[in-house]
């Protein structure tokens, strides 16, 4: 575990070039201390009291991502979008708007498969292709990864280590993709709101419009309606919002 945490932090520094932090009290570790160890998924963000993170998966979508961006813009909130490479190629203008408005792009594989059903080579291809697509369209390589369905397999975590990706899970899952009703999504998010919480939302349709999430029909309107309601409530309660890339997991 100790080596894993070193790996995460060190690799994050390398990926972001945040060398100033290394010189500000955090010791640089020799490569041998972390090389070869795979990171573990992070389900919370360590960014101080009353700070949370909003995440949106399976996009970008030319319809719902733009609506989500409008709501975030209205409230001056930055979020993380875990995109599928397949959708990045389809909707590059949406990707560019995500970046232009200060949000963060994460890697959510190319076509949203169950990683535990793929060969090691195919898992690596899913992640690497998406890394390349986001880098080309978004202008920088992602440093965050989320496995579809939360299937953070050993192979996926090894690829994360190789590519300098931090695996990001979540602590609040309102199951918005199943369309339980906007009010229910709001209740679930507000109930889970806490310091360090990472909220899982869905702005897109996994794997593209021809492969909607089971039972959802690809409709994310409840996600947008819920966000419009719970975001100002969380702000009024004193919460602020960040993105996990800005807060490396601390050394133990």
Interface positions with Zn ion (CB under 5 A): 57-58, 148, 206
CB of 58 to Zn ion, least distance (A): 4
Cβ-contact 139, 100 below 8 angstroms: no
Q: At what angle do helices 182-192 and 221-236 cross, to 10 degrees?
A: 40
Q: Which residue of the set 57, 86, 176, 245 is catalytic?
A: 57
Contacts of 25 (CB under 8 A, 6+ apart): none
Per the annotation, the verdict on 57 as an active-site residue is: yes
Q: Between residues 58 and 176, which has the closer beta carbon with respect to Zn ion?
A: 58
Alpha helix (H) residue ranges in the chain: 2-16, 19-22, 64-75, 85-90, 92-100, 120-138, 154-163, 182-192, 221-236
CB of 204 to Zn ion, least distance (A): 8
Q: Between residues 115 and 163, which has the closer beta carbon with respect to Zn ion?
A: 115
CB of 82 to Zn ion, least distance (A): 7
Per the annotation, the verdict on 108 as an active-site residue is: no
Contacts of 62 (CB under 8 A, 6+ apart): 91, 94
Q: Which residue is nearest to Zn ion (CB)?
A: 57
Q: Between residues 148 and 218, which has the closer beta carbon with respect to Zn ion?
A: 148
Q: Whose CA is closest to 56, among 44, 68, 46?
A: 68
CB of 83 to Zn ion, least distance (A): 10
Q: Between residues 46 and 151, which has the closer beta carbon with respect to Zn ion?
A: 151
Give me the active site residues, please.
57, 202
């Amino acid at each position: 575990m100790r080596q894993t945490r070193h790996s995460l932090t060190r690799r994050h520094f390398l990926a972001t070039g945040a060398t100033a932090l290394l010189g500000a009290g955090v010791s640089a570790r020799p490569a041998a201390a972390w090389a070869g160890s795979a990171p573990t998924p992070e389900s919370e963000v360590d960014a101080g009291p009353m700070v949370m993170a909003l995440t949106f998966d399976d996009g970008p979508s030319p319809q719902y991502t733009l609506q989500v961006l409008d709501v975030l813009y209205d409230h001056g909130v930055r979020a993380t979008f875990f995109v599928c490479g397949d959708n990045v190629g389809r909707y590059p203008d949406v990707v560019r708007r995500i970046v232009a408005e200060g949000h963060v792009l994460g890697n959510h594989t190319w076509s949203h498969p169950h990683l535990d059903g793929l060969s090691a080579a195919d898992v690596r291809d899913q992640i690497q292709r998406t890394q390349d697509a986001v880098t080309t369209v978004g202008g920088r390589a992602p440093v965050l990864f989320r496995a579809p369905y939360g299937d953070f397999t050993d192979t996926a975590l090894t690829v994360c280590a190789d590519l300098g990706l931090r695996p990001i899970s979540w602590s609040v899952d309102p199951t918005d993709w199943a369309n339980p009703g906007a009010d229910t999504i709001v209740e679930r998010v507000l109930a889970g709101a806490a310091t360090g919480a990472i909220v899982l939302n869905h702005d897109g349709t996994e794997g593209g419009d021809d492969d909607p999430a089971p039972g959802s029909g690809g409709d994310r309107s409840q996600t947008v309606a819920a966000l419009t309601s719970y975001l100002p409530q969380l702000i009024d309660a004193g919460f602020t919002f960040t993105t996990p890339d800005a807060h490396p997991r601390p050394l133990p």
